Homo-oligomer: A and B are copies of this chain.
Amino acid sequence: MMEEKGYETMREEKLYFASDYQEGMADEILVRLQETNRTPTAGYGQDPYSESARTRIREAIGIPEAEIYFLSGGTQTNATVIDGLLRGYEGVIAADTGHIAMHEAGAIEFGGHKVLTVAGENGKIRADILAAWLKAFYQDGNHDHMVFPGMVYISQPTEYGTLYSLGELTELRGICDTYGLKLYVDGARLAYALASEENTVSLADLGRLCDVFYIGGTKCGAVIGEALVIAKPQLIPHFFTVIKQHGALLAKGRLAGVSFDTLFDGGLYERLGRRALRMADTLRKALVDQGWRFLFETSTNQIFLIIENGKYEKLQEDVVCSYWEPFDEKHTVIRLATSWATGEREIEQLIQIMKRLS
Interface of A with B (CB < 8 Å)? Answer: 6-7, 9-12, 16, 18-19, 21-25, 27, 30, 33-34, 36-43, 72-80, 83-84, 87-89, 91, 102-107, 109-115, 136, 139-142, 144-148, 218-219, 223-224, 237-238, 240-242, 244-252, 254-255, 320, 322-323, 325-326, 341
Contact = CB atoms under 8 A, between A and B. Distances in A.
A247 B39 contact: no
Given A34-B30, A83-B88, A247 B73 contact: yes
User: Which of A23, A83, A146, A244 has the most B CB atoms < 10 Å from its CB?
Assistant: A244
Nearest to A14: B40
A79 B19 CA distance: 28
Contacts of A75: 244, 247, 249
A87 B106 CA distance: 12
A10 B36 CA distance: 9
Contact of A247 (B112, B246, B255, B320): B246
A145 B241 contact: yes
B105 A147 contact: yes
Given A19-B43, A41-B22, A142 B103 contact: yes
B72 A250 contact: yes
Nearest to A91: B106
Given A40-B11, A244-B144, A252 B113 contact: no
Nearest to A40: B16
User: Which of A27, A80, A251 has the most B CB atoms < 10 Å from its CB?
Assistant: A251
A246 B323 CA distance: 24
A21 B251 contact: yes
A75 to B, nearest CB: 5
A88 B84 contact: yes
A29 B9 CA distance: 21
A112 B113 contact: no
Contacts of A248: 76, 247
A142 B111 CA distance: 22
A241 B89 contact: yes
Contacts of A41: 16, 22
Contact of A37 (B30, B88, B113, B323): B30
B39 A11 contact: yes
B76 A247 contact: yes
B326 A139 contact: yes
Given A109-B112, A144-B238, 16 more contacts: A10-B38, A21-B43, A21-B252, A23-B38, A33-B33, A73-B247, A75-B247, A89-B241, A103-B146, A105-B144, A106-B146, A109-B113, A145-B244, A148-B238, A218-B252, A223-B252
User: Which of A10, A79, A145, A341 has the most B CB atoms < 10 Å from its CB?
Assistant: A145
